[in-house]
Structure 1
Amino acid sequence: MHKYISTFVLLVFLTASGLQAQVTEPKAKNVQAVKHRVVIQLSSNDTLAWKGLMNNLKNLKEGWGDSVQVEVVAHGNGIQLLMAGKTTQLENIRKFKSMGIDFVGCENTLRERKISKTEIIPEAGFVKMGIGEIILRQEEGWTYIKSGF
């Protein structure tokens, strides 16, 4: 009887050790696959706020490179950042777009202000509702940052 108990204890120990190794190993792999995802809200037409945004984008890309995914959502007064006739940041937007940063404008803002999509720079995309896009991204686990004032 003692022999069976010893064998049972040894079997339980080995099984538990094996299970722990199986559980621990995938966690180590997942840590390496983590990607930073950031949604940035811009609702200001202040060119100093735009410069601050560009500086933050530069710092994110320099610090984390391809391990950071960023989406800038412009709505309200911030839509002017994406307007061809108003923006002072076209070259920076082009540079950051080529690095994988997305810039999107709010269609509600365009409609309310009677701005045509043709007035928006081609580097930008569109979302139906800027604030809704921000909420969806947060629900997906993205980090939220408000840029400007």
Structure 2
Amino acid sequence: MSGEEKDAPDLKVVIQIAENPEKGINSVLNLLKEMKFKEVEVVFHQEAIEAVLNPSLVSTLSPARVVACRNSLKAKGINEEKLPLGTIVVNAGVAEIVKRQSEGWIYLRV
């Protein structure tokens, strides 16, 4: 694959991780190695929400933004203040995904 094929400079992608965060994170890392996007958001919610407590997660997934679902945090009893610096919190992860899709972002569930 040539460098031109690997770059998607005008594309934005929102990635949903709801379960099995280890496999999901590995898939995101593989995608980020292969392609460059204008913007990338990784939305963690449901069973995968505890992964956002990992202090190295934000830097590991860079340049993607790590997004945590407030509803899932509350359901698991996780205090937002314990999240690593740089984590973005939204009220509902699913609403964030729908919002991004409505803005023309590519949706990927891993």
Q: TM-score of the superposition, structure 2-length normalised?
A: 0.77
- Note the aligned Cα RMSD (angstroms): 2.1
Aligned to 1:115: 78
Residue 110 of structure 1 and its aligned partner are, at CA, apart by: 1.9
Give the residue type in structure 2 aligned to 1:73.
V
Change (3 A) 1:112 1:54: closer
5+ residue gaps, structure 2, are 1-7
- State the Cα distance separating 1:118 from its structure 2 match: 1.6
Give the paired residue count. 103
Higher helix proportion (structure 1 or 2): 1
Of Structure 1 and Structure 2, which has the larger fraction of its residues in strand?
2
Structure 2 Cα separation of the partners of residues 53 and 111 of structure 1: 22
Of all paired residues, the percent bearing the same amino acid is: 28
Range with greater deviation from structure 2 (55-64 or 136-145): 55-64
Q: Which one of the candidate residues 53, 59, 75 is aligned to 2:30?
A: 59
Structure 1: stretches of 5+ with no match in the other structure: 1-32
Given that 2:58 and 2:65 are in contact with CA atoms closer than 8 Å, whether structure 1 keeps it comes out as: no
Give the structure with higher Rg (CA): 1
Q: What is the CA–CA distance in structure 1 between the aligned matches of 2:29 and 2:74, rounded to whole Å?
A: 31
Misfit runs of 4+, over 2 Å: 52-65, 90-93, 111-114
DSSP 3-state at the match of 1:123? coil
